[in-house]
Amino acid sequence: MIEEHTAASEEVAQAKQAMAASKEGKPTMHIKVYSPFKTYYDETSYSISAVNATGPFDILPHHHNFMTLLSPCVLLIRPLTGRAEQRIRISGGLMHVKADKVTIFLDI
Amino acid sequence: MSRLQEVAEQQIAMNTIQNLTGVFEGLASMRIAAVKNQVQESQAFFREIWHIYQQLRVDSLFRFGRTNQDDIIKKQLFIVITAEGGFGGDIDQRLIKMMLADFNPDKQDIIVIGHHGALLLIQQHVSFKKYFTLPSRDKNINVRPLVDEVRRYESTAVFYQTYVSLMVQEGKRIELQSAVASQGMAVADKASDEVISEETYIFEPSTYDVVAHLESSMTEIALSQVILDSKLAQYAARFRAMSMAKDRANDLVDELRLTFNRTKRHIQDERLKEMINGIRVGSKS
């Protein structure tokens, strides 16, 4: 029962964020960047830029399911309005994109 | 008089030991809390990667990130994780004994982690392939050289110290492949309903590269966790040793306080006797 309530609260919070973003006409997605011992970023954002073996690329909301090995680069994340761009330097990692949820595993 | 001074000096020394063991006990306890927290964080990270891996449909074999072209040594690799040095009690001896009971030089090769284990093997005239020092830090342990060795062998067994409780640590053997699989067991059922394949996903550079990287990463994380668990057990062994030393120091301080008071009383009694005898001699004359 407690889990249902927590899940429902998260859904409500996400819906509120999505509604706020849709008012501005911009779709959003959730981005999480973390390693076994540290979470570097875990927020709803507009987009993320990274580099893989093919070259630089951007991930925007509604992206197709995607899995890639990242090259050493600086991740550029655009958070919701009012926040500065986030830059995270990485030495490599794995990116998993599914249903507007981007997860980046570092130090692997 | 000199006896009283000696006892007083011993008392000061014992108080210092009492304080020091207390500090070491506190330090070991802090490290235990920190490492336990790290093990939990690392396990959560591992579970999420395993969840993705389980959804990937390539084949059923876990290859440790090997490619089909890699030459495999037709032997089993034994990795034994021991302490760098003292305060560990006899747990390393028991671990080495456990490993040597299954060891056959024609069928297995040994890699030792930790100076103490290497010394024990040399004392017993057992040769090993490689020796690594136990990492001093608890985070971001570089296990890549170890994973490179694991990939070269047909299978790998790890012997390490495991933390049961603050007062109990024991030696354990695990097969690395089953360790990786068992850590992902908790999410295996959930994963079965979704499938990640080339039909539903875009892979870059390729599916096999991603799978190989995931397997290699999971092996690294599993090895790191085993090393962390081993360090946790070592900190607990140190805590136990320091706790026992502190209790012993407490007892000795009490004993010395009694001895000091007795000696002081004895000296006072002697002086009193001398004074009484002096008065008697004086009154007689």
- Residue-wise pLDDT tens digits, B166-215: 777 888 888 877 666 665 554 445 445 567 777 888 888 888 888 888 88
Q: Which two tokens stand for residue B279?
A: 């008065």
- Residue-wise pLDDT tens digits, A63-76: 999 999 999 999 99
- Residue-wise pLDDT tens digits, B37-71: 777 777 778 788 877 877 775 555 555 555 555 67
**Test mutation, B216, B217, B219, B224, chain A, max A CBs within 10 A:** B217
Cross-chain residue pair B139–A53, CB shorter than 8 Å: no
Residue A99 contacts B, CB cutoff 8 Å: no
Cross-chain residue pair A37–B221, CB shorter than 8 Å: no
Residue A49 contacts B, CB cutoff 8 Å: no
Cross-chain residue pair A94–B38, CB shorter than 8 Å: no
Measured in angstroms, the CA of A82 and the nearest CA of chain B are apart by: 30
Cross-chain residue pair B221–A105, CB shorter than 8 Å: no
- Residue-wise pLDDT tens digits, B89-122: 677 888 899 999 989 999 999 999 988 889 999 9
Q: What is the mean pLDDT of chain A?
A: 83
Residue A69 contacts B, CB cutoff 8 Å: yes
Measured in angstroms, the CA of B230 and the nearest CA of chain A are apart by: 18
Cross-chain residue pair B214–A35, CB shorter than 8 Å: no
- The answer to pTM > 0.80 is no
ipTM exceeds 0.85, yes or no: no
Q: What is the 3-state secondary structure (H, E, C) of A46-104?
A: EEEEEEECCEEEEECCCCCCEEEEECCEEEEEEECCCCCCEEEEECCEEEEEECCEEEE
For residue B180, what pLDDT is reported? 64
Residues of B in contact with A107 (CB under 8 A): 140
Q: What is the 3-state secondary structure (H, E, C) of chain B?
A: CHHHHHHHHHHHHHHHHHHHHHHHHHHHHHHHHHHHHHHHHHHHHHHHHHHHHHHECCCCCCCCCCCCCCCCEEEEEEEEECCCCCCCCCHHHHHHHHHHHHCCCCCEEEEEECHHHHHHHHHCCCCCCEEECCCCCCCCCCCHHHHHHHHHEEEEEEEEEEECCCCCEEEEEEEHHHHHHHHHHHHHHHHCCCCECCCCCEEECCHHHHHHHHHHHHHHHHHHHHHHHHHHHHHHHHHHHHHHHHHHHHHHHHHHHHHHHHHHHHHHHHHHHHHHHHHHHHHHC
Residue B213 contacts A, CB cutoff 8 Å: yes
Nearest by CB: A65 against B140, B200, B214: B200
Measured in angstroms, the CA of A35 and the nearest CA of chain B are apart by: 7
CA atoms within 13 A on the CB side of B149: 20
Residue B48 contacts A, CB cutoff 8 Å: yes
